[in-house]
Amino acid sequence: MSDFFSDKKVFITGGTGSLGRSLIKRLKSSGSSLVVYSRDEGKQALYFGQDKDVKTIIGDVRDYRKLKTSLLLERPDLVIHTAAMKRVDDMEHHPDECVKTNIEGSDNVARASLESDVSKCALISTDKACMPVNVYGSTKFIAERIFTNYNYNSNSTKFLSVRYGNVIASRGSFIPLWMDLIKENKRINITSLECSRFLFTLDDAVDTVLNSIIHSLGGEVFIPQINSFKMGSIIEAVKNISGKNGEDIPTKITGMRPGEKIHEDMLSITELPFSFLAPTHNLIQVRPQYSKINYQSDWPKYEGRELNSSLHINDDISHLVSLIKSGLE
């Protein structure tokens, strides 16, 4: 993997988030030249103010002129588009703002990348884009289609999307919050004990993104094959890690929040006919229904079921404890 990125300049939008910072750490170790484009000047200064290996640009993906100018001046080989508005319940009340960043901003990134002769441009998407029921997921679903369409009309830049699930210890993750509440013997609010979520670590998320970029021929959506867990099991694992095993923890079943699902989807049944297995890292490649590309002929068809979190539950608490500990390191 490192050889592919060793001589590349990588331009990352929204690079001050958990995934962005983890990508930067990995890419630095691979010898990449890095540019972070973000509207959060405070976090740029906090995370990269003393880092001579990372150039920072203050800018918003909503601002097409600034974005295109930045890309033309920097001339990156690769663009990784992580910038997004992603708080599900908040976006239900502010759909207009979500559209401006996640749809219009993604179109700006794609168009500016095409006009700047970027080699590959990757959209970081979400499991909530699969069969969406909320504003956030709907905007990401459209952003995926925007990237696929740009790829269809491009003779140079390759566009791809990468979906993933809940990342342990990422900004906004419920697991570190639960651990703090459990240690203080405070109440945990839960949608349902039967609610299930796909979980993986930041390292796995970075592997997924970088391997997808390496293997992409353009237009695909890449999806990791990862385990899902019930909320009841996650509570037990967090209690174990927090030294509260066997103790009663105050909980409240709150029911569904705006825009929430009981079970998440990563790969829909309608995408199965277009799904293939990449040779590394348990990746599924969903090929577009319309394309001019001859994709990898030696990649086998994915013959499994759709990826709904209720169908791929792992109830092994010891495995979950190890996964969470690994994610928190």
| Active-site annotation, residues | 128
Name the one residue in this structure whose structure tokens are 């958990």.
18
Structure-token pair, residue 46:
């906090």
For 202-211, b where at least 16 C-beta lie within 10 A, e where not — what string? bbbbbbbbbb
Sort strands 251-253 and 265-267 into parallel, antiparallel or unpaired.
unpaired
Instruction: Round to whole Å and give the CA distance between 137 and 130.
Output: 7
Q: Is the C-alpha dihedral spanning 215, 219, 225, 226 positive or negative?
A: positive
Angle at 221 between CA 175 and CA 266, to 5 degrees: 40
What letter does residue 103 receive in the DSSP assignment?
Answer: I
Is the CB of residue 81 less than 8 Å from the CB of residue 124?
yes
> Which of helix, strand or coil describes residue 296?
coil
What letter does residue 300 receive in the DSSP assignment?
Answer: P
